[in-house]
Amino acid sequence: MTALAQGDLAGLGSLAPRRQRFEAAPYLYLAPLILLLGIFTFWPLLHTAYLSVTSWNLNPGVPVRYVGIANYEDVIDSDLFSAALWNTVVTILVSIPLKVLLPIPFAVFIWSMGSRGEIYRTVLFLPTMISFVAVSVAWLWILSPLGGYLDLVLSSVGIKLPPLLTRAETALGTIIGISTWKIFGFHVLLFLAGLTRIPHRLIDAMRIDGASDGVILRRLIWPMLGPTTLFVLISTVIFTMQQVFTPIDMLTKGGPSNATTNLFYVTYQYTFMNFSVGQGAAATVLLFVFLMIVALVKFRLFDRFVHYR
Amino acid sequence: MVRLSASSRAIGHAVTATLCCLILIPMALVALTAFKSQPEVYSALPWPQQPTLENFRRLFAVSFDVYLWNSFATTILRVAGQVLIAVLAAYAFARFEFRFRNALFALVLGALMIPHSLTMIPIYIMVVELGWFDSWAALIIPNLAFPFGVFLLRQHMMQFPKPLIDAARADGASHWKILWRIIVPNMGPAIAGLVIVAFIECWNEYFWPLLVTDSDKMRTIQIGIRRFLDSEGVDSFGPLMAGVTLASLPALLVFFVLQKRVMDTFVSSGIR
């Protein structure tokens, strides 16, 4: 859609007297990408907004019915959605110290080792390569209370492993733990990349002025890591909803009693488990609003950090 | 470089080494269990006493060969398409002056920030209406746009030495020729990095193939593992660990062959 509109406008533009001759070439090079983005990214955003005010059950034989804001009311009033919102907020709050701040000291330590830190970097990167399906099944086995590996080891010393994934009190924490295992090393590497951008002469200059390592860390390294920290923070928020879909779907299906669902998983539950497209779309629009708020916070924070970029 | 004191270095090594163990031990346990016989799976001894391929045999008895083929074929087709389309678009952004260039580029950057979760319902409906449900087309075509690739390749093409291109232009070379004969052959490392990132992302994908495939003939390896878990239950840990090992192998192999490039491109794809 977009490509067509843009193409037409470009044609009109070329009729106006301009110094440059109209060239079709760049539009042809761009056409496949813009068409795909229009059809599979931007149009679906609009279509979702439309679906959110209709009622439909994914059955092609059943007509789509306009219902106004009823879906939004249903979704916001439902226990499922409030559980999803609550779990998402809890996950984000727990993830900030665990996945955003804790990797920093590791990165600083490995950075201080120079090229000898290579082995640590390599090992820390490994979970990034492994699919979340593999990670989920592996932890399902290790944590299983019936013949799982940890259970086998613990029972030989007389401890009974509790069913972590099937208890409402521990399920969300377990999912957070598994996702931390998967992402932690990658965040260490992101901070390492941020650290290597700090010019050595600044550190040398501070040292000549008699600054101790502690002062250098506090006054130079920590502020210089600002943009990376912010970036990791934002990607953690998105990761918390998007990627964590896999362990939730594989291990708990959002349960027990909605303890592990989140703002993304809930849209899947509405649409493909309850076959309520309208409610799924309404939940998607609410997710979009949530992400926009996160993005706004990001830009506000960026203004404060911008002089370090 | 900051030089830490001897004591904080010792603590650093201890803590970081512990973290590495937390990563490596589960991976080793999985890989070793894949070769255990059925009774041995329930022994606390980490390694198999009589290594066997029985677990892998059970997987291939339930069409894991088809899953692997689907994963390889759709990944290769999709990555090839993604990179080709990204190269063309990056060339337009890097080498042409045209109306709406900045607006269109902003569109690409915007797409970079729209997660799959916001667009899945209409794409699913479209796939069904087009009759693509449960086909390779559904796995490949909706994912062919690769905004990060466009962004990265444009960056590299803008840094490409201008005199080389001007010389080719003076010799009467067309844009098409310049792109494929001069620019692309000199962008090997950037394109290789991109191919690897796209390959691993696609190979490891769960959500989309779960949504648009349904039959044994079309499942990818990741979905195959999930179905095996559903159908055989959690008491088939041996074959499940074999499946996990099998599904992780291609990405890990790529990583060990091209370590540094893989890490660098992943980190830069993170900092987008």
**Domain with A31 in it:** 2-51
CA distance B47 to B72: 30
What ipTM was predicted for this assembly?
0.91
Question: Between chains, do B222 and A133 touch, taking CB under 8 Å as contact?
Answer: yes
Name, in order, each residue with C-beta under 8 angstroms of A43's C-beta and a sequence gap of 6 or more: A1, A2, B122
How high does pLDDT run on average in chain A?
Answer: 86
Residue A60 lies in a domain: no
CA distance A116 to A194: 18
3-state secondary structure of A270: helix
Please say if the pLDDT value at position A5 is more than 50: no
Residue A247 lies in a domain: yes
Number of compact structural domains in chain B: 1
Secondary-structure breakdown of chain A: helix, strand, coil percentages, each rounded to the nearest 5: 75, 0, 25
Residue B20 lies in a domain: no
Assess whether A41 and A77 both reside in one domain: no
User: What is the residue-wise DSSP string for B104-163?
Assistant: HHHHHHHHHT--GGGTHHHHHHHHHHTT-TTSHHHHHGGG---HHHHHHHHHHHHTS-HH
Question: Taking CB atoms and an 8 Å cutoff, what residues of chain A touch B119?
Answer: 40-41, 44-45, 48
Name, in order, each residue with C-beta under 8 angstroms of A295's C-beta and a sequence gap of 6 or more: A234, B113
Residue of A nearest to B83 (CA): A33
**pLDDT at res. B225:** 94
CA distance B16 to chain A (A): 7
Number of compact structural domains in chain A: 2
Residue B36 lies in a domain: no
Share of chain A above pLDDT 90, in %: 51
Average pLDDT for A124-144: 93
Assess whether A41 and A167 both reside in one domain: no
**pLDDT at res. B255:** 86
Residue A127 lies in a domain: yes
**pLDDT at res. A20:** 57
How many residues make up chain B in this entry? 272
Average pLDDT for A73-88: 93
Q: Contact, B254 vs B196, CB < 8 A?
A: yes
Residue of B nearest to A22 (CA): B98
Question: Between chains, do B89 and A30 touch, taking CB under 8 Å as contact?
Answer: yes
Residue B28 lies in a domain: no
Assess whether A167 and A77 both reside in one domain: yes
pTM for the model: 0.88
Share of chain A above pLDDT 70, in %: 91
Residue A62 lies in a domain: no
Assess whether A15 and A142 both reside in one domain: no
Residue B246 lies in a domain: yes
Tens digit of each residue's pLDDT (9 = 90 or more) over A151-189 = 889 988 888 888 899 898 999 999 999 999 999 999 999
Determine contact: B174 vs chain A, CB below 8 A: no
Q: Max alpha carbon distance in chain A (Å)?
A: 87
**pLDDT at res. A13:** 43
Determine contact: A125 vs chain B, CB below 8 A: yes
Tens digit of each residue's pLDDT (9 = 90 or more) over A20-42 = 567 889 999 999 999 999 999 99
Assess whether A178 and A215 both reside in one domain: yes
Please report, for the domain that includes residue A101, its CATH number: 1.10.3720.10
Determine contact: A64 vs chain B, CB below 8 A: no
Question: Between chains, do A27 and B16 touch, taking CB under 8 Å as contact?
Answer: no
Assess whether A154 and A279 both reside in one domain: yes
Residue B3 lies in a domain: no
**pLDDT at res. B2:** 63
**pLDDT at res. A232:** 87
Average pLDDT for A215-223: 83
**pLDDT at res. A113:** 87
**pLDDT at res. B43:** 85
**Domain with B247 in it:** 45-270
Question: Between chains, do A40 and B145 touch, taking CB under 8 Å as contact?
Answer: yes
Residue A63 lies in a domain: no
Question: Between chains, do B206 and A249 touch, taking CB under 8 Å as contact?
Answer: yes
Residue A65 lies in a domain: no
H/E stretch holding A105: helix A103-112
Assess whether A43 and A75 both reside in one domain: no
Closest residue to A48, CB basis, from B44, B118, B207 = B118
Task: Specify whether the backbone of A261 is left (phi greater than 0), alpha (psi in -120 to 50) or beta.
Answer: beta
Average pLDDT for A77-86: 94
Residue by residue, pLDDT tens for chain B (272 residues) are 566 778 888 999 999 999 999 999 999 999 999 999 988 888 888 889 989 999 999 999 988 999 999 999 999 999 999 999 999 999 999 999 998 999 999 999 889 888 888 999 999 999 999 999 999 999 999 999 999 899 989 988 998 888 888 899 899 999 999 999 999 998 888 898 889 889 999 999 999 999 999 998 999 999 999 999 998 876 789 999 999 999 999 989 988 888 777 788 887 776 54
Residue B24 lies in a domain: no
Closest residue to A114, CB basis, from B1, B44, B211 = B1
Assess whether A178 and A37 both reside in one domain: no
**pLDDT at res. A258:** 92
Assess whether A192 and A162 both reside in one domain: yes
Confidence of residue A3 (pLDDT cuts 50, 70, 90): very low
Assess whether A152 and A9 both reside in one domain: no
Size of interface A-B (CB pairs under 8 A): 271
Please say if the pLDDT value at position A10 is more than 80: no
Residue A138 lies in a domain: yes
**pLDDT at res. A4:** 41
Please say if the pLDDT value at position A2 is more than 60: no
Q: Could you identify the residue written with the tokens 């080709």?
A: B84
Tens digit of each residue's pLDDT (9 = 90 or more) over B72-99 = 999 999 999 999 999 999 999 999 999 8
Assess whether A189 and A299 both reside in one domain: yes
Residue of A nearest to B237 (CA): A141
Closest by CA position to B58, among listed B215, B229, B245, B240:
B240
Residue B178 lies in a domain: yes
Assess whether A20 and A79 both reside in one domain: no
Q: Which residues pair with A54 in a beta bridge?
A: A66
Q: Max alpha carbon distance in chain B (Å)?
A: 74
Residue A102 per-residue DSSP state:
T
Closest residue to A48, CB basis, from B41, B115, B122 = B122
Confidence of residue A302 (pLDDT cuts 50, 70, 90): low
What does residue A254 show for φ and ψ, rounded to 5 degrees?
A: 90, -15
Please report, for the domain that includes residue B162, its CATH number: 1.10.3720.10
Please say if the pLDDT value at position A16 is more than 60: no
Residue B38 lies in a domain: no
If one compares A195 and A13, the residue with the highest pLDDT of the two is A195
How many residues make up chain A in this entry? 309
A-proximal residues of B, 19-78, CB under 8 Å: 19-20, 22-24, 26-27, 29-30, 33, 41-44
Buried b (16+ CB within 10 A) or exposed e, A257-277: ebbbbbbbbbbbbbbbeeebb
H/E stretch holding B243: helix B237-257
A-proximal residues of B, 119-158, CB under 8 Å: 119-126, 128-129, 142-145, 147, 150
